[in-house]
Amino acid sequence: MTTVSVREFSYNPSAMFARAEKGETIEITRHGKVIATLVPGRQKKRSRVEELEASGALRRSGKTLADLATFTRIKLPEGAPDPLQLLLEDRYSESDWERDFREELEATKGKSTGETAP
């Protein structure tokens, strides 16, 4: 944190703002007493999607709702399972490694507390 007098601040306020913009906090004093603090502005918090896009891990297709009519529609045979339901079941079902990890963790926790696993 930097301390400057009102006089020093008034000579070149744009330089002080530039320093704050770079992340520096500046205390402004009058007769040795702090009368104001210039702090960096808060950055708008980016959403997770924006962070992934910025890192290059995600790339949007560029399609919009207006393009919805151009998507290929597939008619499912009578009695076929709902694809969305299958996707959700697959996505939220516990995989083998997750089950093994959970069981190992529970067994370890039981040993540390003196409990026995069923």
Which CATH number belongs to the domain containing residue 14 in this structure? 3.40.1620
Quick check: is 34 in a domain?
yes
Quick check: is 49 in a domain?
no
Q: Which of 47, 69, 50 is nearest to 58 (CA)?
A: 50
Beta bridge partners of residue 33, listed in sequence order: 30
| Alpha carbons 40 and 26: distance in angstroms, whole number | 9
Residue by residue, pLDDT tens for the chain (118 residues) are: 899 999 999 999 999 999 998 889 999 999 999 999 999 887 777 788 888 888 888 888 888 888 888 888 888 899 998 888 888 888 777 777 888 888 888 888 877 666 555 5
Quick check: is 62 in a domain?
no
Quick check: is 76 in a domain?
no
What's the pTM?
0.38
| Alpha carbons 51 and 48: distance in angstroms, whole number | 5
Indicate the pairing of strand 2-5 with strand 26-30: parallel
Residues spanned by the domain of 14 = 2-38
Looking at the structure of the chain, the number of domains it has is 2
